[in-house]
Amino acid sequence: MASTDASPGRLQMEAGRLLISGDWTLPHHHELREQVLAHRRDAAPDPTLDLSGLAALDTAGARLLVELVGADRVAEVSRWAPDLPRARQALLETVARVLREPLEPEAARRAPLADWLVDVGERIAALWHQQRLLLGFIGLTLTTLLACLVRPWRWRVTALVAHVHQTGLNAVPIVALLTFLVGAVVAFLGATVLRDFGATIFTVNLVAFAFLREFGVLLAAILLAGRTASAFTAQIGAMKANEEIDAIRAIGLDPMELLVLPRLLAMMVILPILTFIGMLSGILGGALVCIFMLDISATQFLLILQRDIPLNHFLVGLGKAPVFAFLIAVIGCLEGFKVSGSAQSVGEHTTSSVVQSIFMVILLDAVAALFFMEMGW
């Protein structure tokens, strides 16, 4: 223990021995460090040490002694200074042991294949965890939806209409323009290939088949996944960051009923409408290419549509729209609820919702296409 009236520590060479005396404590650290640096610069290495005059010692002083004589030598202080009190020996040995250890442990070196396998395993575990959360959120959404269906006085009609306008009506121009251009491109490329076989007339069938079954619903769903799912995540995430969702729960309201259901129902209403608009726009784009580049009249185009394209293609495409809308809305709302509270988290989950929505839409569309093909629909 340090004594209040003892003198600051000193280093002194006498008869080939290095005498260490006085207080080696934090209040005298500056003076002691200057002495240690001067001794290391001028004195002979590995002198005989004498700690009999040591008055007080703390961690700062012990570190200077380790710096003076070396960690390996101080670690054996019980051998060359057996008369030193056991508590001080333990302090010196502990400080020496800590200073001999590296500040940062070396990372275990693994083979590149092991690193790759670990990364794959972590990604699969994260994907499984995400799918479990999504399934649980879908179940919670369906439960809340069924509970509200039998209570008409709890329907949020105003919120539903507002979200239909925001998510759907504002998206009509971009959906119509995009599908129109894609329809023209599909018709042009199809005619280029079919011309070599003298079958340019089947360009009409190609455009109608592609847009009624696949492109109409797929392009509209992808556009809404990028436009609306991100908006849902950003809106709910901002409310989560501002603790507005906690306030909603505090006043006795259900965030699922107040925030999720209006957005979900709005998506399920508007995506079939946008799909229908996309089908018409895509076929119109293909029709213009057929009329002006392939010398197929509008009357002939319509006759081929009526004769060769059955109604089931239209129903297959339109039937996928509510399913896609449900997934897009659920993923967007779920990612919003997962926001942790910072602006960075809002951006990360917004990006995640767009990526997941587009991936799930394309994956489900591929599965549906194979199923309908096997069923002959």
330 and 207 co-located in one domain: yes
92 and 140 co-located in one domain: no
146 and 256 co-located in one domain: yes
The answer to whether position 331 is within a domain reads: yes
The answer to whether position 316 is within a domain reads: yes
Structure tokens at 289: 């290419």
Q: Are 225 and 357 in contact (CB under 8 A)?
A: yes
22 and 167 co-located in one domain: no
Residue 67 DSSP one-character state: H
Q: Give pLDDT, residue 110.
A: 66
The position carrying tokens 């990360």 is: 348
Q: Are 255 and 248 in contact (CB under 8 A)?
A: yes
Q: Are 77 and 50 in contact (CB under 8 A)?
A: no
156 and 198 co-located in one domain: yes
The position carrying tokens 């479990």 is: 132
156 and 17 co-located in one domain: no
Q: CB atoms < 10 A from the CB of 138, how many?
A: 15
Q: How far apart are alpha carbons 319 and 317 in whole angstroms?
A: 5
Q: Give pLDDT, residue 45.
A: 62
Structure tokens at 323: 């399913």
The residues facing 20 across adjacent strands are 11
Q: Which of 85, 100, 115 is the last residue of a domain?
A: 100
Q: Give pLDDT, residue 3.
A: 43
Q: Are 192 and 233 in contact (CB under 8 A)?
A: no
Our count of domains for the chain comes to 2
SS3 351: helix
DSSP string for 153-220: GG--HHHHHHHHHHHTGGGHHHHHHHHHHHHHHHHHHHHHHHGGGT-GGGHHHHHHHHIIIIIHHHHH
Q: Give pLDDT, residue 326.
A: 92
Which pTM was predicted? 0.67
Range of the domain at 153: 127-375
180 and 268 co-located in one domain: yes
The answer to whether position 143 is within a domain reads: yes
The answer to whether position 108 is within a domain reads: no
Closest CA to 51 of 22, 15, 87, 91: 22
Integer angstrom CA distances of residue 14 from 42, 43, 83: 15, 12, 20
Q: Give pLDDT, residue 102.
A: 60
- Burial annotation 72-93 (CB, 10 A radius, 16+ → b, else e): ebbbebeeebeebeeebbebbb
Burial class (CB in 10 A: 0-12, 13-18, 19+), 219: buried
Instruction: Write the CB contacts of 8 (distance below 8 Å, at least 6 apart in sequence).
Output: 22, 23, 28, 31, 32
The answer to whether position 105 is within a domain reads: no
Q: Give pLDDT, residue 1.
A: 41
Q: Which of 100, 117, 150 is the last residue of a domain?
A: 100
77 and 222 co-located in one domain: no
Q: Are 290 and 187 in contact (CB under 8 A)?
A: yes
Q: Give pLDDT, residue 323.
A: 92
Q: How far apart are alpha carbons 105 and 279 in whole angstroms?
A: 62
Kindly report the length of the chain: 377
Instruction: Write the CB contacts of 217 (distance below 8 Å, at least 6 apart in sequence).
Output: 271, 275, 278, 317, 318, 320, 321, 324, 365
The residues facing 11 across adjacent strands are 20
152 and 284 co-located in one domain: yes
The answer to whether position 5 is within a domain reads: no
63 and 164 co-located in one domain: no
165 and 308 co-located in one domain: yes
Mean pLDDT by 10 residues, the chain (377 residues): 57 72 78 77 67 77 77 73 76 77 61 81 87 87 85 81 82 90 91 84 88 90 88 86 85 85 89 92 91 86 86 88 91 87 80 88 89 81
19 and 82 co-located in one domain: yes
Instruction: Write the CB contacts of 296 (distance below 8 Å, at least 6 apart in sequence).
Output: 200, 201, 203, 204, 290
The answer to whether position 343 is within a domain reads: yes
Q: How far apart are alpha carbons 84 and 134 in whole angstroms?
A: 66
The answer to whether position 180 is within a domain reads: yes
Q: CB atoms < 10 A from the CB of 59, how many?
A: 13
